[in-house]
Amino acid sequence: MSQFDSIRPYQDSEVKSTLKRLINDPEFTSTLIKFRFPRARGAFLALTSFALRQVLKFKVRNVNKVYDFQVMVERYMAHMVKTTTSQLSSSGLDHLDLSKPHLFISNHRDIALDPAFVNYILHNNGQDTVQIAIGDNLLTKPWVADMMRLNRSFIVKRSASAKREKLANLKELSAYIQHTLNETGDHIWIAQREGRAKDGLDITNSALISMLALNKPKEQSFAEYISQLNIVPVSISYEFDPCDLAKANELVEQNEHGEYQKQEHEDIYSISRGIVGQKGQVHVHFAEPLSGEYESAKEVAEALDKAIIGNYQLMPTNWIALGDAIPEGIPANELANAKRYFEAKSRDVSAEVRSQLYAMYANPIKARQQLSE
């Protein structure tokens, strides 16, 4: 049994059995149907579930490897990009030696799409896809875990409460990441912090860097170990966030009541909303790998913040939300579209939610301005 069996992605030998388990899971098929037909019940749900299972069996009949599954997913990803974005662009890849495995650390705005866009861009540039770090808090259903691990996701165990167990999980994760980079030779994607930046402020949690360093040999310097990880800061910019109102409502509730109670499986619905919602322009920038004589996790986190915030592509929505002088060169029609977007979004919400909505879009500019001070 492998040292990392409890957290690693599924392997080729596990693909067929996992797909069979998924297709025969009534909750999996009914969930897919309810995304399209929310009120599906009784005989209609049973009939459509049966039909869906037959369709799925046909679609995956030739899926024997993880690569086959990802090729199938790529077709749906291409359709999503075509129908929900006005433009997907990238920059910085030409500065990377992708023959070496890299640890991509990005800002975190969307649960599923952040790594999906990184994967899609790498794939379209002739590169292998990344292994994706995903928190076990998202794996509320067995079928969700199966889907994620089929798509090369590995599990970050966050549910432990005892300190000893937490430390053991962190050490396992640190060892797995180093093993994957050095032995397997795969790229890895991980978010700069747990949870999405709902307020639009992309700040790296230095605890992430401390976790990465848990597997550092005693005789090796901290700076050398960090350098060998080939950490690439990644900035993912969305013109429109399909989950923006939900995020604004959550932040307002936290401010007013001190906490926010998530609904059951709320993250799964956020994933769905992010996938199907309109995103406008999306840009992904890959910075050069971190290099420096870093002496602490805090210094590495600050370097990540500087690169991620500094390379975030500011959108018309950011400038309209800020409300200050708008720089020249932004097309007037894009600014007008951004203004209409906010007018439509804030039409039926409270003043507090409206203020929070504008703030989350304005914050990337404010963060950039603070960098230059």
Mean pLDDT over each residue of the chain, to the nearest integer: 94
3-state secondary structure of 36: helix
Closest CA to 170 of 107, 224, 213: 213
Calculate what percentage of the chain has a pLDDT beyond 70: 100
**Res. 34 pLDDT band, cuts 50 70 90:** confident
| Mean per-residue pLDDT, 351-358 | 97
Compute the distance between CA of residue 304 and CA of residue 105 in angstroms, rounded to an integer.
8
Length of the chain as a residue count: 373
Q: Which amino acid is residue 271, in one-letter code?
A: I
SS3 call for 297: helix
Please, are residues 129 and 66 in contact by the beta-carbon 8 Å criterion? no
- pLDDT recorded at residue 129: 92
Average pLDDT over residues 237-265: 92
125 pLDDT above the threshold of 50: yes
What mean pLDDT is predicted for residues 162-179? 96
- Domain segments of the chain: what residues? 88-313
CA–CA distance, 23 with 28 (Å, rounded to integer): 7
- The four Cα atoms 264, 267, 271, 277 give a dihedral, to 10 degrees, of 80
Residues 321, 339: Cα–Cα separation, whole Å: 8
Q: Which two tokens stand for residue 60?
A: 């995956």
189, 132 Cβ separation under 8 angstroms: yes
pLDDT in the model for residue 355: 97
118 is written with which tokens? 């990184």
Q: Measured between alpha carbons, how far is 158 from 110 in angstroms, rounded to an integer?
A: 19
pLDDT of 40: 78
pLDDT band at 254 (very low <50, low <70, confident <90, very high): very high
Tell me the pairing of strands 85-91 and 231-238.
unpaired
Give me the mean pLDDT over the 285-290 stretch.
Answer: 98
Residue 1 has pLDDT above 60, yes or no: no
pLDDT tens across 92-101, in order? 999 999 999 9
**What's the DSSP call for residue 332?**
H
Decide if pLDDT at 163 tops 50: yes
Does residue 282 carry a pLDDT above 90?
yes
Q: What are the strands, taking DSSP E only, across the chain?
A: 85-91, 103-106, 131-135, 153-156, 188-191, 231-238, 280-286
- pTM, to two decimals: 0.94
